[in-house]
Amino acid sequence: MKIRFKQPSVLPGFGLTFGFTLFYLGLIVLLPLAALFWTSAGMGWSDFYSTVSSPRVVAAYRLSFGAAAVAACVNAVFGFIVAWSLVRYSFPGRRIVDAMVDLPFALPTAVSGIALTTIYSRNGWIGRLLEPLGIQAAFSPLGVTIALTFIGLPFVVRTLQPAFEDLDAETEEAAASLGASRWQTLRRVILPAVLPSLLTGFALAFARALGEYGSVVFISGNMPMRTEIAPLLIVSRLEQYDTVGATAIAAVMLTISFVILLAINLIQWRASKQSRIA
Amino acid sequence: MSIEVNNITKTFGRFVALDNVSLSVPTGQLVALLGPSGSGKTSLLRIIAGLETADPGSGSVRFHEKDVARKPARRRKVGFVFQHYALFKHMTVFQNIAFGLTVRPRRKRPSSDAIREKVHSLLKLIQLENLADRYPSQLSGGQRQRVALARALAVEPKVLLLDEPFGALDARVRQELRQWLRRLHDDIHVTSLFVTHDQEEALEVADRVVVMNAGRIEQVGTPEEVFHKPASEFVLNFLGNVNLFHGRVEGGRAVFGSMVLDASTGGQADGKAARMFVRPHDLEILTQPGEAAALPARITRIQSAGPVVKLDLRTHDAQPLHVEMSHETYRQRNLKNGDEVFVRVKESHVFVDESASPGANGDARGRKRG
Amino acid sequence: MRTVATTKPARRSTLSEPVWVRWLLIGAALSFLGLFLLIPLAAVFVEAFRKGVGAYFAAFRDPAALAAIKLTLLVAAVAVPLNCVFGLAASWAIAKFNFIGKHLLITLIDLPFAVSPVISGLIYILLYGLNGWFGPWLAEHDIQIIFAVPGIVLATLFVTFPFVAREVIPLMQAQGAEDEEAAVTLGASGWQTFFRVTLPNVKWAVLYGVILCNARAMGEFGAVSVVSGHIRGKTNTLPLHVEILYNEYNFVAAFAAASLLAILALATLALKSFVEWRTHRTAPNPLEIPYEGGPLA
């Protein structure tokens, strides 16, 4: 049996469309990404390590990861409630609320950045309320977390919504008829069924928050060691014409992003395998 | 136009969809490709249409003696009706039927008046004249099927190929449509080949039936031939219910329990396993043991609602039997559930194992009339 | 990401929570969304009009603002059609044919979603910047890509790369090739098949992808910021213009420009909902077919 690259088909145009796809993908995506890894590989291990392990870089990584993780957790909890409310309950304005969930995707990040900064700064609408409590939101790690929560908000909602829709009403009724309380049904029937979607949404929100730049630069205040996130550090290295340093920091982040991507694929693959058996 | 298929083989990875298949369809006939799913019938149809290619170097498809291997599907002049119709959702019925004419190169394209006329004559043929402006989503399944057929006929194909044409319809519509297709074919006489897994459909509609199994053709013949003279156990089993009796060859004859058949067993050696198949209507129920070849059994269930009466019986060695008889006979015999009766074989098909003689084509067959 | 319509019959009583729990959850959901969505959006418009309507419109008389709007439109006008053509070509190759490595290709197409915007800009500096792979050659031929419009276009192409493709590929895959096969047996050529059968079948998905692609192309900040060089009136897109004004404490003008982008975002959401509503009426909804490839964004 001969292994063929492409199975024969009566439809024309494979060569043209496949060729163009590869060419364009190579030009716009693969070649530039290759340049990044090539450049960081060229700088030698000790240079690379000393760059990415300098205290300022480590602090930036720590803030980026920490704030992204907290933001993704907040989104997981509230995203669950929002998605549940949108799918299960009807209330006035539900359709508009549903459409508005995508606002963080549609709103340019610079706009959300300056809007959030204005609200949470000392004399902003919310900042004013927080100040007497001794809480400083803008220009602090809290501000970074708020911006990252905003930016990751749609992910959990949008991955959970179809999962809630797909839930078979009969399994819940079966649980009820077997004597389970509503809370038990939620914990033991609904939650396991939507867990892969919840994890995927969490991972997506986390990955997006990790790389976010526009909405954070304004609210963070950009203080080295305290409120400087990793993408910002890349930009400031570039502004000092330290392209190699920027590349090293970027290579670490990109690798982590790809690992998260892989993890998400793994979650979905496992989930689809499970649903096929069921 | 006639179709000849010579030694076509088609494999998908390790799976052999068609194993050296040859077939010829004479001009103007309506032929059914009958077989279970996975028997290769759809692959064969798609290869004839040019939608799929046979394995390289395996054989040829000829239309009217001409090899069409190098002809792409769009130039084969084949009308193909897809199982799920593949109607273009965004086009009206009229636009769907006209499609094949409107995509012709400008100099070969009929005028728009000619196209309109053609489409309307086809709409008349399929009895949907007043639905020309509907969209496929606004039609019933049977109507869609007919539109798909009209669309295929609009380009005046030399050959009409239909893939499970009634598969997606409910039973009543299916019944109507297949009689309609038969009448249509009698009117237009285009060489037609249709795929089906429904034996009743194939026997009722086709001039000839091609029975396929596991990538091979088991038998080709008229509906009468394949039903009454099945060439293999598979054909016999596939075309209706049968009762199976296990026995063996003894002294050149097949012996099944108390029944001895005079059937020729093709000179098979003694001790070979033999199998006898009897259709439910070829078993007769007697209240008295008239002959030696009758089998004692007990009636376990009677179902008399329907065109024939169906009875379930159980022999003394616990073998279940299915018998069908007319209502008239049923009343005459005065049968009741639980009755001890005798079952006589009126007509049967006997197959003897021929594992010892490989290469012999067709099983040893015996037919016994009682 | 898409809205999922929720037109379901009233749930059976065993499947519902007590009224107080229901309203508690709805209340929590709405407060969270109000806090994170509504207040920032309102803030944009309130700040923009803080000094009156006159000051608001004065912000758009600034030549730098007009140049930024023009550049933003130009970048979108180049990036959206290119990525749209790419999306259609990739969908045709992936959905209508079987070949080795298809899943890898789908994953690679989604890759840009996993890359931080800043890194999306950086990689083009590594290629076309002064010390980049092609830098010396470009300098020799006096071609400027980085800190110029071509760099902005390239970075935008990168961040909006998957939008059309990821909407169209799953739909075309779900539709299969039967319609195209029917067209071919009826004698249609490849282009006739594509334009008269395939394209009408996927037009809503294409539109959906174009809407999202356009929103991101006009609103991209991080990637563009890295490669633009912030030359006022020359390489400033609207989001970059917002940043500069804000950093100069010219808040009214910054929020006025931002309000324009916010209106774009609201229009995007409205159009998107419209497409979803349209496609929902013709079941099965092509936009709800699960996507086989990468999951990001």
Looking at the complex, report in whole angstroms how far the Cα of residue A162 sits from the nearest Cα belonging to chain C. Answer: 7
> Are B345 and B247 in contact, with CB atoms under 8 Å apart?
no
Least confident of B339-343, B362-366, C65-69, C152-156: B362-366
Nearest to C220 by CA among A219, A229, A107, A247: A107
pLDDT for A72 equals 96
Question: Do both C279 and C157 map to the same domain?
Answer: yes
pLDDT digits (tens, 9 = 90+) for B43-75: 999 999 999 888 888 888 999 888 888 888 888
Determine the structural domain holding residue C144 and report its residue range: 51-288
Contact B103 C196 (CB under 8 A): yes
Question: Do both C256 and C226 map to the same domain?
Answer: yes
Question: Do both C28 and C174 map to the same domain?
Answer: no
Instruction: Kindly state whether C283 is in contact with chain B, defined as any CB-CB distance less than 8 angstroms.
Output: no
Instruction: Kindly state whether C176 is in contact with chain B, defined as any CB-CB distance less than 8 angstroms.
Output: no
pLDDT digits (tens, 9 = 90+) for B16-30: 999 999 999 999 999
Instruction: Kindly state whether B11 is in contact with chain A, defined as any CB-CB distance less than 8 angstroms.
Output: yes
* 3 state SS of C54: helix
B7-36: b or e for each residue (b if 16 or more CB lie within 10 Å)?
Answer: ebbbbeeeebbbbebebebeeebbbbbbbe
Please list every residue in chain A whose beta carbon sits closer than 8 Å to the beta carbon of residue C25: 81, 84-85, 89
From B11, B13, B51, residue closest to A10, measured CB to CB? B51
Contact A1 B13 (CB under 8 A): yes
Please list every residue in chain C whose beta carbon sits closer than 8 Å to the beta carbon of residue A98: 3, 6
DSSP string, A140-160: SHHHHHHHHHHHHHHHHHHHH
pLDDT at A261 over 90: no
CA distances from B251 to A37, B137, B264, B351, C80 (A): 84, 67, 11, 16, 85
pLDDT digits (tens, 9 = 90+) for B149-195: 999 999 999 899 999 998 878 888 888 888 889 999 998 889 999 99
> Are A219 and A67 in contact, with CB atoms under 8 Å apart?
no
pLDDT for B265 equals 54
Does residue C83 form part of some domain? yes
Q: How does strand B216-221 pair with strand B320-325?
A: unpaired
pLDDT for A1 equals 45
Binning pLDDT at 50, 70 and 90, where does residue B367 land?
Answer: very low
Closest chain A residue to B47, measured at CA: A10
Torsion sign across C-alpha atoms B280, B285, B290, B296: positive
pLDDT for A184 equals 87
Instruction: Kindly state whether C281 is in contact with chain B, defined as any CB-CB distance less than 8 angstroms.
Output: no
From B73, B90, B99, residue closest to C200, measured CB to CB? B90
Instruction: Kindly state whether C86 is in contact with chain A, defined as any CB-CB distance less than 8 angstroms.
Output: yes
Question: Do both C279 and C145 map to the same domain?
Answer: yes
Task: Work out the average pLDDT over B2-11.
Answer: 92
Can you give the residue ranges of every domain in chain A? 45-277
Looking at the complex, report in whole angstroms how far the Cα of residue C4 sits from the nearest Cα belonging to chain A. Answer: 7
In B37-66, the residues whose Cβ lies within 8 Å of chain A are 50-53
Contact C96 A11 (CB under 8 A): yes
Please list every residue in chain A whose beta carbon sits closer than 8 Å to the beta carbon of residue B50: 10
pLDDT for C294 equals 33
Looking at the complex, report in whole angstroms how far the Cα of residue B73 sits from the nearest Cα belonging to chain A. Answer: 7
Question: Do both C57 and C44 map to the same domain?
Answer: no
Tokens 């009820």 -> residue: A176
pLDDT for C13 equals 55
Probe site for chain A from C49, C124, C296 (most A CB atoms < 10 A): C296
Instruction: Kindly state whether B69 is in contact with chain A, defined as any CB-CB distance less than 8 angstroms.
Output: no
Q: Where are the alpha helices (DSSP H) in chain C?
A: 19-33, 39-48, 52-58, 63-96, 102-110, 117-128, 135-140, 149-159, 163-175, 178-185, 190-193, 199-219, 222-228, 238-247, 251-281
Does residue C5 form part of some domain? no
Looking at the complex, report in whole angstroms how far the Cα of residue B56 sits from the nearest Cα belonging to chain A. Answer: 10
Binning pLDDT at 50, 70 and 90, where does residue A208 land?
Answer: very high
Does residue C92 form part of some domain? yes
Task: Work out the average pLDDT over B235-245.
Answer: 89
Task: Work out the average pLDDT over A15-23.
Answer: 96
CA distances from C89 to A223, B238, C247 (A): 46, 46, 42
pLDDT for B359 equals 32
pLDDT for B355 equals 53
pLDDT for B276 equals 86
Instruction: Kindly state whether A278 is in contact with chain B, defined as any CB-CB distance less than 8 angstroms.
Output: no
pLDDT at C85 over 70: yes
Instruction: Residue C113: give its domain's CATH number.
Output: 1.10.3720.10
Question: Do both C42 and C91 map to the same domain?
Answer: no
* Phi, psi torsion values for A135, nearest 5 degrees: -105, 125
State the count of interchain CB pairs (< 8 A) between B and C.
Answer: 65
Task: Work out the average pLDDT over B240-253.
Answer: 82
Task: Work out the average pLDDT over B199-227.
Answer: 94
Instruction: Kindly state whether C198 is in contact with chain A, defined as any CB-CB distance less than 8 angstroms.
Output: no
Task: Work out the average pLDDT over B95-122.
Answer: 93
Question: Do both C58 and C146 map to the same domain?
Answer: yes
Q: How does strand B30-34 pair with strand B208-213?
A: parallel
From C105, C119, C295, residue closest to A268, measured CB to CB? C295
pTM, whole model, 2 decimals? 0.85
Does residue C6 form part of some domain? no
pLDDT for B14 equals 86
In A34-73, the residues whose Cβ lies within 8 Å of chain C are 35-36, 39
> Are C22 and A89 in contact, with CB atoms under 8 Å apart?
yes
pLDDT for C131 equals 86
Looking at the complex, report in whole angstroms how far the Cα of residue A9 sits from the nearest Cα belonging to chain B. Answer: 6
pLDDT for B362 equals 35
Binning pLDDT at 50, 70 and 90, where does residue A276 land?
Answer: low
Instruction: Kindly state whether A10 is in contact with chain B, defined as any CB-CB distance less than 8 angstroms.
Output: yes
Closest chain B residue to C198, measured at CA: B88
Question: Do both C74 and C30 map to the same domain?
Answer: no
pLDDT for B262 equals 61
> Are B280 and B343 in contact, with CB atoms under 8 Å apart?
no
**Using CB atoms, which chains have 3+ pairs under 8 A with A?**
B, C
Question: Do both C28 and C147 map to the same domain?
Answer: no
pLDDT for B264 equals 56
Does residue C176 form part of some domain? yes
pLDDT digits (tens, 9 = 90+) for B269-301: 677 788 888 999 998 888 887 765 678 889 999
Task: Work out the average pLDDT over C94-107.
Answer: 93
Question: Do both C35 and C153 map to the same domain?
Answer: no
Q: How many domains does chain C have?
A: 2
What's the one-letter identity of residue A143? G
Instruction: Kindly state whether A11 is in contact with chain B, defined as any CB-CB distance less than 8 angstroms.
Output: no
Binning pLDDT at 50, 70 and 90, where does residue B348 land?
Answer: confident
Task: Work out the average pLDDT over C154-165.
Answer: 96
pLDDT for A2 equals 53
Does residue C2 form part of some domain? no
| Distance from C-alpha of A231 to C-alpha of C73, rounded to nearest angstrom | 27
Please list every residue in chain C whose beta carbon sits closer than 8 Å to the beta carbon of residue B89: 200-201, 282
Question: Do both C40 and C181 map to the same domain?
Answer: no
Does residue C155 form part of some domain? yes
Question: Do both C35 and C106 map to the same domain?
Answer: no
From B76, B86, B137, residue closest to C179, measured CB to CB? B86
pLDDT for B251 equals 73
Contact A8 B52 (CB under 8 A): yes
Contact C114 A261 (CB under 8 A): yes
Please list every residue in chain B whose beta carbon sits closer than 8 Å to the beta carbon of residue A8: 52-53
Contact B103 C189 (CB under 8 A): yes
Probe site for chain B from A1, A3, A10, A14 (most B CB atoms < 10 A): A10
Residue B9 corresponds to which tokens in the numbers above?
């083989």
pLDDT digits (tens, 9 = 90+) for C125-146: 999 998 889 999 999 999 999 9
Contact B88 C185 (CB under 8 A): no
Residue B213, strand partner residues: B216
From C179, C185, C196, residue closest to B80, measured CB to CB? C185
pLDDT for B263 equals 59
pLDDT at B235 over 60: yes
pLDDT for B268 equals 63
Instruction: Kindly state whether C22 is in contact with chain B, defined as any CB-CB distance less than 8 angstroms.
Output: no
Tell me the CATH number of domain A45-277, given options 3.40.50.450, 3.30.365.10, 2.30.42.10, 1.10.3720.10: 1.10.3720.10
Please list every residue in chain A whose beta carbon sits closer than 8 Å to the beta carbon of residue B17: none
| Distance from C-alpha of B13 to C-alpha of B103, rounded to nearest angstrom | 36
Instruction: Kindly state whether B118 is in contact with chain C, defined as any CB-CB distance less than 8 angstroms.
Output: no
Contact A254 C116 (CB under 8 A): yes
Contact C182 B88 (CB under 8 A): yes
Going by C-beta distance under 8 Å and a sequence separation of 6 or more, which residues neighbour residue A112? Answer: A104, A147, A150, A151, A214, A215, C40
